[in-house]
Amino acid sequence: MLTADAFATLYLVQPVRRLASRPGLGVPILMYHSVSDPEDSHQGYFQTTARPAVFAEHMKFLHDEGYRVVGIGEVPKILEDPRGLDTRPVAITFDDGFEDFYTHAFPALEGYGFKATMYLPTAYIGEEHITFKGRRCMSWSQVREIGGRGIEIGSHTVTHPLLKFKKLEDVRHEIRSSKDTIEYKLGKPVTSFAYPYAFPETDRDFRERLRGFLEEAGYENGVSTILGTASRSGDRYFMKRLPANSRDDLRLFRAKLEGGYDWLHTVQYASKFFKA
């Protein structure tokens, strides 16, 4: 049975969008958290767990349809030059550092030569395996392995807190310390940051402070949980992403890649606005 968001996307928004819009107006950034069974506990449209077979199907689709998988650092550059959009770029991201990335997602990515970015909450990455959100995380040796084989490692804070409700000095610590730890462990610069939990896009003051902390720490770009396709008008430190999960059959997956799911950002923003 189709969910309400899928039905609206496939039978209302996507047909109209194809008639009224020009394709290739942004870069889709796919957001996964886990590639595993069972489905994650999130309800509604914002799910980010894909079963291994579904994830493999998604990657095959990208390959067969001629998408160009790019690194997250390439996205702002592509958006600055619209000619780059003609190559059908897409970025693939993962949050939280779960070990099922190493066991299930990484082999599928390598099979097609695809890049991806993994964002780590460093408190849960150890020399031995640590559990976070009920799932086992990668060890530093596994992180070093994937980092040496084409996977970019980004920061997802230290403890994965709700940054908006932390003291400013604690926000700065979460941003700086996670970056320092990854750079020390891998011997490579960390240039990308992923904001944990729902991004407070309606709070302009916090957003500006956070951006300042990220620039100060030496980050060059970042991603958020703002739903949609990354566009030139967006902030390169808080780029939009598209949640991808087991409910995405190839019709819905295609619609997300083509911008047909972006309408849900209006619903997301309204919800945040009224809660604020």
- Residue extents of the structural domains in the chain: 26-252
146 vs 19, higher pLDDT: 146
Half-sphere exposure of 13 (CA within 13 A, CB side): 19
Give the E-state strand segments of the chain in sequence order: 29-32, 34-35, 49-50, 68-69, 89-95, 116-120, 131-132, 135-136, 151-155, 192-194, 221-227, 239-243
pLDDT value at residue 43: 55
Residue-wise pLDDT for 95-132, tens only, equals 999 999 999 999 999 999 999 999 999 999 999 999 99
Q: How confident is the model at residue 84 (pLDDT cuts 50, 70, 90)?
A: confident
The tens digit of pLDDT for each residue in 243-253 reads 999 999 999 99
- Categorize the per-residue pLDDT at 23 as very low, low, confident or very high, splitting at 50, 70 and 90: low
Q: What are phi and psi of 241, to 5 degrees?
A: -135, 165
- Average confidence score pLDDT of the chain: 94
Give the pLDDT confidence of 182-215 residue by residue, as tens digits: 999 999 999 999 999 999 999 999 999 999 999 9
Looking at residue 258, its pLDDT comes to 94
* CATH code assigned to 26-252: 3.20.20.370
CB atoms within 10 A of CB 204: 9
- pLDDT-wise least confident of 41-45, 48-52, 178-182, 200-204: 41-45
pLDDT reading at 22 higher than 80: no
Distance CA 250, CA 248 (A): 6
